[in-house]
Amino acid sequence: MGEASKTKAKESEKKPSKIKAALNKRVEVTPGKHLKKDVKAPKWLRAIGDYFVGSYKELRQVKWPTRRATWSLTLAVILFTAALILFIIAIDYGFEQLFKQVIL
């Protein structure tokens, strides 16, 4: 290791970065001691964390359907949609014929 790199290493050890200095000042960290207990995350950050924790807890409570139940429910939705489409087409055709008879 050259003399210049030793000097740079010593300087970097002596001067903490601006970010580290700001953090040390904010939380009052002393070497060899733990952080004070009154240091808390910002309210908005805790809210985001609480959201994800709550979502995870809710997902753990969900009783997911079996593959067979999923397919049967999917088939029921498809059949109901097809029946509704046929009903709307029939109503539309009936109104079209009614208006043709009344107006024309």
Distances (CA, A) of 49 to 44, 45, 57, 61: 9, 6, 12, 19
4 falls within a domain: no
Q: Could you tell me how far CA 90 lies from the centroid of its own chain? A: 44
Q: What gap in Å lies between CA 27 and CA 41, rounded to an integer?
A: 11
74 falls within a domain: yes
41 falls within a domain: no
92 falls within a domain: yes
73 falls within a domain: yes
10 falls within a domain: no
Q: Check: CB of residue 29 under 8 Å from CB of residue 23.
A: yes
Task: Summarize pLDDT for 31-56 with one digit per residue, the tens.
Answer: 666 655 566 778 888 889 899 999 99
Calculate mean pLDDT across residues 79-92: 98
Comparing 23-27, 72-76, 77-81, which segment has the lowest mean pLDDT?
A: 23-27
Domains contained in the chain, number: 1
pLDDT at 103: 82
Structural domain boundaries enclosing 98: 65-104
12 falls within a domain: no
89 falls within a domain: yes
